[in-house]
Structure 1
C-alpha cells in the first residue's frame, strides 16, 4: 500500500488555495498598473549614475551592478561623487522609490536582484514598515509606493498585499475625482481578492472585501465573503459587527437572487422572490420595481409591468432603460401617444446626459492631469536605521548621469 502524502495543517482543516492566478494578473511587475500614472511624477526627483568597476568588484552584489543605472536624488550626488560615500541603504531606498513608482521600469528586476542579494527579506520588511509609518502620518502616496516596492521584491508578501489594498481604499475614499476613484477602487478590490486567494486564512482581508462587495450591491458575494471572515477571525468586536451585517443582508440577498432569476430568463421564479418585498422597507428600492416590471412584462402581465415601470420613474426619473421598456410596451399595444411621450423623454434625457458627461469629463480630465503632474514633495528616506552595519557606497567613479527619459521608464 502506497504511503499517503502527509497533509498540511491547512489541508487538514479544509483550507486550500483554490484560486491561483497567472503571474500576469498577480505579479505587480507584470500586471496592469492602474494607478502608476499618479506616482511617476516622483521619478523627476531622480538622476541616474553607475558604480565604478572597483566598487562593483568589492560589492556583495558584484556582477549584478554592471550596467545598471543607480537612482540618486539630486541631494545625493555630492556624497556619491565626492568620496565621503553614500550609505547603501540610501541607494536601496531610492531603488525602492523607483520600483514603487513604476514596477514596470525596465531595471526593476535588476534592483530586486541586487537588493535581494545584499539584504534578503530584511529590506522588504523595512519597506513594509516605512509604508505603514507613512500611512499613519497621512502620506498615502509615500505609503503606496513603499508597499508596491515590497511587492516588487515579493509579489505574494501577505502584509504588503493587504496594506496596499487598504492604502488604495483610503485614497479613493478621500477623493472626489471620478477617474482617480475608479482606478484606486479597482486596485483595492483586486488586491483584497488576491490576498484572500493567496492567503486564505487571513481573516481581515475578507472583512474589507465583504464591504467592497456590499458597496457594489453584490450582496450574495458579501455574505459568502463574511462567512469566511467569521470562520477565521478571532476579533470579537469585528465578528459581532459582521454577524449583524449578515442578518441585515438577508433581504437584499433574496432580492439579488430575484434579480438574477429575471436576468437569466427565469421570470416566474424572479417574480415570486421579488413580490413579497413590495410590502417591506425595500419598497423604496427602484431596481426592485424595475426587475419586477421586466418579470411582469415577460409573463404577459402588461398592466402590472406599466405600473412598476412608472413607479421606477417616480424614484429615478432619468432611467432610460425603464422608459425604453414603456416604449416597447406601448409600441406593441399600438398606443402611439404614450409611445411618443416616452420617446421624447428618452431624447431629452440622453441630450442632458451627453452635455453633463462632456462637461464632467473635461473637469475630471483637468483634475486628473493635475494629480499626475502636481509638484511632488521631496521625500526623505526613513528606514535607514532599521538595518544595522551595512556597507557604504564609496568610490563610485562617476560614469554618467542622466534623467529618466520616457523611453527608459
Structure 2
C-alpha cells in the first residue's frame, strides 16, 4: 500500500531506540527464530527511561514492549528494512499470548486520539492498514485521523503538509467505498473532499449516494443543505467542462445565467471570457478579462488572455504591454514565449530572442518553449 505522508512521520522514529537480540541469546519467543546475524529491535524511549528510573531497565524490555515498538516503526515507515522480520515476530508473539493485533492497534490508536496525540494515533492505524490493507474499519478511521492531522497543519499554516494529509484521506476513503459500496459514512466524508477540490458534480453524486445508503437524519439534513447551496457551483462546473470540450455555446448557456448573482466571481468571468475567445468573439472576451482585472488587478492568467486577444486582433503593442506586465508578476516560460513571439511578429528580433531564450533557461523541456526556439532559428 502506498502512502503520501510518510515523510511527515519520520521524526516520530526519534521516540525509539534499537537494541540487538542475538540468534542464540536468552530472548526467545515460541514460534519465532531470530536470524543468525541477530536482529535490531525497537523499544520506545519512554520504556527505557522508566526502567532506568526504577532500576528495572532489563525487566521493562520484554516481548510486549518490543512488539509495541515494532508496530510503531511499521506505522512510521512502511518500507523499513526489518519490517518483514518484525511481522514474523508479531505473528508468532500474538499467537503465543492470544493477542488480537488489529484490536490492539485500534485500542492504542483510540488511546492516543483521546488525549489529543493525533499523529501517534495515526501511526497505529497506519501500521494496521500496512499489515491488513483491506481492513475497511482501519482504512476508514485512518482517513478520519488524517483529516484531524490536516487540521493541525492548517492551524500552523503549513499548507503543503495539510494538502498531503487531505489527499491521503481522500485516497483511503476511495479505497473504503471500493471495498464496501454500502459504507455510507465513507461517501459522506468523501463528498467533502470532492467539494473542497472544486469537484462539485462528483461531490453531489457521492452525497446523494450516501443519503440513499442511510445516514443519521442530522447528516442527511446537512448533506441536503450543502447540495442546495452548491447548485450554482455544479452548474459552473458543467459549464466549464463544456467549454474545455470545445462546446462553447452550450457552456455559455450554463455560465451566463450565473453572472448576475456572481458578478465578482473571477473564475466564472474567466471561463466566460475563454468561451467567447474560442468562439472568436474577441471583443466580448476582452470585456470579461478586463472585468477580472478590475476585481483582481494582478490576475496573471487574465492578463495573458488579454494579450492573446490583442495579438489575435494584430494589436501587438497592446499585446506586448499585457505580456510584459504578466511576466513581471510571474516569470513563467509560457508567458515569456508569448512575449517573445509578440516581439517577433512586431519586428523586434533581439527582444524576441532574449525572452524566448530566458524561457528556455527556466525550462528547456517545455514544449511551447521548444517550438518557439525552432521558430526563432528561422530568423537567425
TM > 0.5 between the two? yes
Which moves more between the two structures, 217-226 or 148-157?
A: 148-157
* Contact 2:23 2:34 (C-alpha < 8 Å) held by counterparts: no
Contact 2:270–2:289 (8 Å) recurs in 1: yes
After superposition, residues 162-241 of structure 1 pair within 5 angstroms as 162-175=140-153, 176-241=157-222
Residue 283 of structure 1: aligned partner: 263
CA contact (8 A) 2:269 2:288 kept: yes
Contact 2:32–2:92 (CA under 8 A) maintained in structure 1: no
Q: Distance in 1 between matches of 2:60 and 2:282?
A: 83
**Structure 1 residue 162: Cα displacement:** 1.3
| 2:325 maps to which of 345, 364, 373 | 345
- Does the 8 A contact of 2:109 with 2:121 survive in 1? yes
Cα distance 1:112–1:316, how it changes in 2: closer, same or farther (>3 A)?
A: farther
2:118 to 102, 125, 140: 140
Q: Counterpart of 1:69?
A: 40
**Cα distance, 1:250–1:82 mapped onto 2, change above 3 Å:** closer
Following superposition of structure 1 onto structure 2, how do residues 364-379 of structure 1 map, counting pairs within 5 Å? none
- Structure 2 residue corresponding to 1:318, chosen from 283, 298, 321: 298
In structure 2, stretches of 5+ residues that fail to align are 333-380
Higher relative contact order (CA 8 A, sep 6+): 1
Q: Indicate if the aligned counterparts of 1:64 and 1:113 stay in contact, CA closer than 8 A.
A: no
- Output the CA distance in 1 between the equivalents of 2:259 and 2:13: 57
CA distance in 2, matches of 1:51, 1:131: 31
Residues 76 and 123 of structure 2 are in contact (CA less than 8 Å); yes or no, is this contact kept in structure 1? yes
Number of equivalences: 320
Whether 1:88 aligns to 2:58 is no
Seen in structure 2, the aligned counterparts of structure 1 residues 192 and 315 have a Cα distance that, compared at 3 Å, is farther
Please, what TM-score do these two structures have when normalized by structure 1? 0.72
Preserved contact between residue 40 and residue 102 of structure 1 (Cα < 8 Å)? yes
Distance of 2:169 and 2:255 partners within structure 1 = 32
CA separation of 1:137 and 1:85: change in aligned 2, threshold 3 A? closer
In 1: Cα distance, 2:146 partner to 2:59 partner: 40
Q: Tell me if the contact between 2:29 and 2:92 (Cα under 8 Å) persists in the aligned partners.
A: no
Q: Give 1:254-273 correspondences, 5 Å limit.
A: 254-273=235-254
Change over 3 Å in CA distance of 1:304–1:167 after alignment to 2: same
How far 1:220 moved relative to its partner?
0.7
- Which of 228, 244, 248 is the equivalent residue of 1:247? 228
Residues 230-259 of structure 1 deviation map (CA, whole Å, 9 limit, x = unaligned): 122331110111111112222211110110
Deviations 1:375-408 (A, max 9, x none): xxxxxxxxxxxxxxxxxxxxxxxxxxxxxxxxxx
**Match in the other structure for 1:46:** 17
User: Per the alignment, do residues 85 and 52 of structure 1 end up closer, same or farther by CA in structure 2, a change over 3 Å counting?
Assistant: farther
Unaligned runs of 5+ in 1: 1-26, 353-409
Cα pair 2:122 2:146 within 8 Å, conserved? yes
How much has 1:305 moved relative to structure 2? 0.7
1:396 is matched with which residue?
A: none
In the alignment, is residue 296 of structure 1 matched against residue 271 of structure 2?
no
Task: State the Cα distance separating 1:314 from its structure 2 match.
Answer: 2.3
Residue 274 of structure 1: CA displacement? Answer: 0.9
Any conservation in 2 of the 1:65–1:114 contact (CA below 8 Å)? no
For residues 39 and 46 of structure 1, the distance between their equivalents in structure 2, rounded to whole angstroms, comes to 16
- Asked if 2 retains the 8 angstrom alpha-carbon contact of 1:169 and 1:185, the reply is yes
Q: What corresponds to 1:98 in structure 2?
A: 73
Aligned equivalent of 2:335: none
Which range is displaced more, 77-86 or 226-235?
A: 77-86
Contact 1:124 1:153 in 2 (8 A): no
